């Protein structure tokens, strides 16, 4: 049976209009009542990466959360909202993003991101035991509310990746340091989803982010809400909507390898608005080393060396830096590989930097630039790989 992904046109974040658009989006899936029963404890998981204004399109818009709360409460659900932001406390980020006001107005509860619990899932790939927010264990139903965005490390961030916010703050950085590989991080994301078991995803794609997301890109009007009980299918459809090749997205690659979710568009049934009716033209994606590297006749350790030495380097833009320290605090390396208080030539330690781009992700001022390496500028390695991808089928 095909996975169902539902699309609804949503032209603005107007509260009443968006509520009815979300209701229409969920109708082909059986409505919110198909996922929430009276008296159930419902955990809503928006994307609250950091203290960004909603207009920046970094975080799930408060109107999307408000609509989800209303629909869950209409079904008799008792709602808690949770996330573990990349920087800052949940309370401070919720205030800055407008989420706190929505939670208070709806009579819902803002969860405790400091309470954790260890979960054991025998079929996991990376971690049989995972420490996640305790709110997951306390909930009867988990509904995730991702934002459609590009991602400088993972190409695309959507429904599957949104559950990384269930990992307590400091541990996210530890995983970056431990794994240091996009596919391994993607496998971790599958593990988190297997453990947390989200029942439904409703994606905020009214405005998404193009360019160097998940925080340094630019808002882009898309005009859609997207929902599915199959999170991987939702991500595949969302990628197609904006012209991202889902086959280069690490979470989709991991899904194919480990048979997690629906990873092929022809195995997905689109309900509501057709994809062609909402398709976005000219959506700017992330420029990165494509996986054409796998055709090179070198062992994996050499490919890893190439990737490390040709990967873009973080650099601090002195004209934009506000010296908030978010990059320094968010770096998973110990000691941190980036420090804006150092002299310019020593602000980034290229030898210890693992190219996870957490600093770029967490910076509220767009002050972290991703500069091509000297080797790449001289050898034009990235340009050559990109040229090959357009001429070799199946890459």
Split at pLDDT 50, 70, 90, the class of 169 is confident
Which has the higher per-residue pLDDT, 213 or 312? 213
Distance of CA 148 to the CA centre of its chain: 8
The predicted model scores a pTM of 0.84
CATH topology of domain 291-389: Alpha-Beta Plaits (3.30.70)
Give the pLDDT score at 182: 87
The reported pLDDT for the residue numbered 209 is 98
pLDDT confidence of residue 363: 92
pLDDT bin (cut points 50, 70, 90) of residue 380 is: low
- Cα–Cα distance between 196 and 166 in angstroms, integer? 8
**pLDDT tens digits for 273-303?**
999 999 999 999 986 544 434 445 556 566 5
Q: Which spans in the chain are helix H? A: 15-26, 62-74, 90-97, 99-106, 134-138, 169-179, 182-196, 231-242, 250-258, 275-278, 300-310, 326-330, 358-362, 374-379, 381-389
Return d(Cα 157, Cα 361) in angstroms, integer: 12
Provide the pLDDT for residue 186.
95
My answer on whether omega of the bond before 335 falls inside 30° of 0, hence cis, is yes
Indicate if the alpha-carbon torsion angle 376, 381, 384, 388 is positive or negative.
Answer: negative
What is the end-to-end Cα distance of the chain in Å, rounded?
Answer: 29
DSSP state of 15: H
What are the extents of the domains in the chain? 3-278, 291-389
pLDDT, mean of residues 173-180: 74
- Which pLDDT score, from 0 to 100, does residue 290 have? 41
pLDDT greater than 90 at residue 354:
no
The CATH number of 3-278 is: 3.40.50.11440
pLDDT above 90 (res 386): no
In sequence order, the 6+-apart residues with CB closer than 8 A to the CB of 95 are 51, 101
Q: How many angstroms separate the CA atoms of 156 and 15, rounded? A: 27
| Among 304, 302, 279, 274, CA closest to 289 | 304
Check pLDDT > 80 for residue 249: yes
The pLDDT value given to residue 375? 54
pLDDT tens digit string along 197-229?
Answer: 999 999 999 999 999 999 999 999 999 999 999
| Ranges 59-63, 113-117, 333-337, 390-394: which has the least confidence | 390-394
Predicted local distance difference test score (pLDDT) of residue 289:
43
């Amino acid at each position: 049976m095909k996975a169902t992904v539902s699309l609804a046109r949503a032209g603005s974040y107007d509260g009443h209009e968006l509520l009815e658009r979300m209701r229409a989006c969920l109708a082909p899936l059986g409505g919110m009542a198909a996922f929430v029963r009276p008296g159930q404890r419902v955990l809503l998981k928006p994307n609250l990466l950091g203290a960004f204004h909603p207009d920046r399109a970094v975080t799930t818009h408060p109107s999307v959360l408000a609509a989800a709360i209303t629909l869950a409460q209409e079904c008799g659900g008792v709602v808690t909202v949770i996330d573990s932001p990349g920087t800052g406390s949940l309370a401070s980020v919720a205030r800055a993003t407008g989420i706190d006001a929505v939670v208070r107005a709806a009579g819902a509860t803002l969860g405790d991101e400091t309470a954790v619990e260890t979960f054991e899932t025998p079929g996991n790939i990376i971690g049989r035991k995972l420490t996640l927010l305790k709110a997951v264990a306390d909930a009867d139903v988990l509904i995730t509310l991702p934002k459609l965005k590009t991602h400088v490390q993972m190409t695309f961030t959507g429904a599957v990746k949104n559950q990384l916010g269930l990992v307590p703050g400091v541990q996210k950085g530890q995983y970056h340091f431990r794994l240091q590989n996009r596919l391994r991080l993607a496998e971790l994301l599958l593990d988190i989803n297997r453990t947390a078991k989200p029942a439904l995803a409703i994606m905020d794609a009214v405005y998404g982010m193009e360019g160097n997301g998940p925080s340094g890109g630019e808002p882009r009007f898309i005009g859609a809400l997207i929902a599915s009980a199959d999170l991987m299918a939702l991500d595949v459809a969302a990628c197609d909507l904006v012209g991202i090749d889902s086959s280069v997205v690490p979470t989709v690659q991991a899904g194919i390898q480990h048979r997690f979710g629906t990873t092929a568009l022809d195995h997905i049934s689109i309900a509501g608005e057709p994809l062609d009716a909402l398709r976005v033209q000219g959506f700017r994606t992330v420029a990165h080393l494509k996986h054409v590297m796998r055709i090179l006749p070198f062992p994996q350790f050499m490919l890893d060396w190439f990737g490390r030495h040709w990967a873009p380097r973080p650099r601090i833009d002195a004209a934009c830096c506000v010296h908030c320290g978010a990059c320094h605090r968010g770096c998973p390396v110990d000691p941190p590989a980036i420090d804006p208080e150092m002299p310019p030539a020593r602000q980034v330690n290229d030898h210890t930097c693992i190219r996870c781009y957490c600093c770029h992700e967490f910076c509220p001022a767009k002050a972290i630039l991703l500069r091509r390496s000297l080797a790449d500028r001289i050898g034009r390695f990235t340009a050559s790989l990109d040229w090959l991808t357009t001429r070799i089928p199946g890459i």
